[in-house]
């Protein structure tokens, strides 16, 4: 999945696959997690958020199935 670099204290890059509604997050420690069933609107909100880490914690973590891929 193609990820876009972002400016964040915790997140290095963010990707989204609209065909599968999968959000992919690469953290600054180079770990990569996927979140399944994430609506496009949440991805858009994350990309526009001033604090991407806070947005992720509030709206995504614990709300969608996830897995670590790296």
Two structure tokens written together for 26? 């690469």
Q: Enumerate the β-bridge partners of residue 34.
A: 24, 67
Instruction: Read off the pLDDT of each residue in 40-60 and give the average, rounded to a whole number.
Output: 97
Two structure tokens written together for 30? 């180079």
Instruction: Read off the pLDDT of each residue in 25-39 and give the average, rounded to a whole number.
Output: 97
The band of 1, judged by pLDDT with boundaries at 50, 70 and 90, is confident
pLDDT at 56 over 90: yes
Cβ-count burial 37-68 (b if 16+ within 10 Å, e if not): ebeeebbeebeebeebbebbeeebeeebebee
pTM greater than 0.85 (yes/no): yes
């Amino acid at each position: 999945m193609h990820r876009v670099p972002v400016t964040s204290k915790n997140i290095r890059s963010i990707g989204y696959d609209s065909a599968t509604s999968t959000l992919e997050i690469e953290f600054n420690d180079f770990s990569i997690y996927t979140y399944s069933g994430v609506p496009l609107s949440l991805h858009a909100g994350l990309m526009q958020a001033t604090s991407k880490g806070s947005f992720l914690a509030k709206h995504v973590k614990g709300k969608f199935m996830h897995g670590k891929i790296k």
